[in-house]
């Protein structure tokens, strides 16, 4: 490549808002077809334009495989081709001659980590007021706002989550200052110029709700309702009453003024939008379950849920996931009664357990967060195998985000979102060695040119660091 060609390539990479990985990306002006509908439809005015980076047919062999659904293969083989998982098997699986081969002796392969609760892009780095776009705290009821309209694609946190944490998919939510915080968005963790270029094709929206201290503190301080937990519930119920009326009129085909908030709530009532509910205390989660039955919607997951262990049976019976930290609790009153065994106790009860981050640093160590919970469970006699525990970071969050048919496990036909770890991923000494997203190698610890760096970081100290 001559000097002029190198210069043109460099300018092109800067124009797309990224440098490494050192591969050209084809991003067309025309939006890609989205499962949710065309851009002309009112429920999908901001369709995904995501296009996978180019990849090559690849096989990873001689690895310990956690398939994300609880399965394990020792000395296994995984094939990636055309952006999909095309084959997975044991050591006797034949390997074609004309394919890129990575030998993973002593290493592990898992599906890409999925974080169900992130604020990357809406509370990006640097963490300054000018970047603080996650909470529209002007009213306790703001279902009309969409987190995607605050997402800054050049947040350096995205690249750190990929390189340090093996995170390939994440749900970005509004904050918890409001009872109804707005819509969440699911993103592929790739470098892109626009939010639409990261948007997970066909993924359903989420509705962020919150109970407990945050809404009553925010609005009580302003002398407004809600200022108590009973106020929280009252405002929630009044809002759902209005949403039910809107939904009935919409279903009957009656003309009514377009209302962005009511559209979101009506879709949540119909199950088109998944309810993701921030809640800490067991009694409040039980109240919310009853409220969901009163108005006919389903809670998909409780987030943080530090007292989920107290109502694990209710979660199981109602098909509700609990997205939890490994051992973070006690930092405020409603988080006081947490325990380190929360995740394994929920799992043992047969409920859907998930480990989440809610933090730009925690997302880089979700494997360690899960390891802490796994160890706490074993110390109290709950002996969960490693490969089963990996479901907390893979198929379980995928189910709670409505994308389990596309990702979350190493099954033939699913997206080739894959992490090669340099050791057991539950070890604090282990790091991602390579990360593929839709079959494209986007991070390689052994290749400094294949590390995600945003245009914002170029020329700054620490650009591309993966410490």
Q: What is the mean pLDDT of residues 66-88?
A: 98
Instruction: Provide the 8-state DSSP code for 229.
Output: H
Produce one character per residue of 307-325: b if its CB has 16 or more CB atoms within 10 Å, e if not.
bbbbbbebbeebebbbbbb
Q: Locate 262 and state its tokens.
A: 């009511």
Query: Class for domain 113-409, per CATH?
Result: alpha beta
pLDDT in tens, 177-207: 999 999 999 999 999 999 999 999 999 999 9
**What does the alpha-carbon distance between residue 2 and residue 8 come to, in Å, rounded to a whole number?**
10
Q: Is residue 32 very low, low, confident or very high in pLDDT (cuts 50, 70, 90)?
A: very low
Q: Which of 18-32, 94-108, 212-226, 389-403 has the lowest mean pLDDT?
A: 18-32
User: Residue 91 phi/psi, 5° resolution?
Assistant: -65, -20
Q: What is the pLDDT of residue 223?
A: 97
Asked whether the beta carbons of 419 and 367 are under 8 A apart, the reply is: no
Q: Are strands 206-210 and 58-66 parallel, antiparallel or unpaired?
A: unpaired
Q: Which of 17-26, 137-146, 256-265, 322-331 has the lowest mean pLDDT?
A: 17-26
pLDDT in tens, 145-164: 999 999 999 999 999 999 99
Alpha-carbon distances, residue 294 vs 26, 277, 368 (angstroms): 49, 16, 39
Give me the chain's average pLDDT, please.
92
Please report which helix (H) or strand (E) contains residue 374, including its range: helix 366-379
Which residue matches tokens 């859907």? 352
**What does the alpha-carbon distance between residue 14 and residue 460 come to, in Å, rounded to a whole number?**
14
Nearest residue to 431 (alpha-carbon basis) of 467, 403, 388, 377: 467
Q: What is the mean pLDDT of residues 231-247?
A: 98
pLDDT in tens, 109-139: 999 999 999 999 999 999 999 999 999 999 9
At 134, is the secondary structure helix, strand, or coil? coil
pLDDT in tens, 354-381: 999 999 999 999 999 999 999 999 999 9
């Amino acid at each position: 490549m001559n000097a002029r060609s190198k210069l043109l390539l460099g300018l092109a990479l800067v124009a797309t808002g990224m440098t490494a990985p050192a591969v050209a990306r084809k991003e067309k002006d025309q939006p890609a077809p989205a499962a949710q509908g065309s851009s002309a439809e009112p429920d999908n005015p901001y369709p995904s334009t995501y296009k996978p980076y180019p990849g090559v047919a690849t096989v990873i062999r001689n690895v310990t495989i956690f398939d994300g659904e609880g399965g394990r293969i020792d000395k296994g083989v995984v094939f990636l081709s055309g952006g999909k998982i095309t084959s997975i098997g044991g050591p006797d699986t034949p390997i074609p001659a004309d394919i890129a081969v990575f030998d993973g002796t002593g290493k592990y392969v898992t599906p890409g980590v999925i974080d169900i609760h992130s604020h990357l892009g809406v509370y990006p780095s640097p963490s300054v007021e000018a970047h603080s776009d996650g909470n529209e705290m002007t009213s306790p009821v703001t279902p009309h706002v969409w987190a995607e309209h605050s997402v800054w694609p050049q947040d350096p946190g995205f690249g750190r989550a990929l390189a340090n944490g093996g995170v390939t998919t994440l749900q970005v939510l509004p904050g918890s200052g409001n009872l109804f915080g707005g819509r969440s968005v699911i993103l592929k963790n790739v470098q892109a110029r626009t939010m639409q270029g990261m948007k997970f094709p066909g993924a359903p929206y989420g509705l962020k709700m919150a109970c407990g201290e945050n809404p009553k503190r925010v609005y009580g301080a302003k002398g407004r309702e809600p200022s108590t937990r009973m106020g929280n519930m009252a405002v929630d119920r009044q809002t759902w009453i209005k949403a039910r009326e809107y939904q009935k009129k919409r279903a009957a085909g009656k003309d009514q003024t377009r209302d962005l908030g009511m559209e979101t709530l009506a879709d949540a009532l119909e199950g088109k939008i998944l309810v993701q509910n921030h809640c800490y205390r067991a009694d409040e989660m039980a109240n919310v379950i009853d409220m969901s039955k009163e108005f006919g919607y389903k809670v998909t997951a409780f987030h943080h849920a530090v007292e989920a262990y107290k109502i694990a049976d209710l979660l199981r019976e109602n098909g509700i996931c609990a997205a939890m930290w490994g051992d973070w609790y006690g930092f405020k009153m409603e988080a006081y009664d947490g325990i380190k065994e929360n995740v394994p106790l929920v799992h043992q009860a047969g409920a859907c357990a998930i480990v989440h981050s809610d933090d730009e640093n925690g997302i880089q160590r979700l494997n360690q967060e899960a390891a802490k919970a796994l160890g706490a469970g074993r110390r109290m006699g709950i002996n969960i195998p490693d490969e089963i525990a990996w479901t907390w970071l893979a198929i379980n969050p995928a189910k709670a985000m409505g994308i389990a048919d596309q990702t979350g496990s190493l099954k033939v036909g699913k997206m080739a979102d894959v992490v090669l770890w340099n050791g057991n991923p539950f070890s604090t000494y282990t790091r991602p060695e390579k990360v593929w997203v839709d079959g494209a190698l986007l991070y390689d610890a052994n290749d400094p040119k294949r590390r995600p760096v945003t245009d914002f970081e170029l020329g700054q100290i620490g650009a591309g660091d993966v410490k």
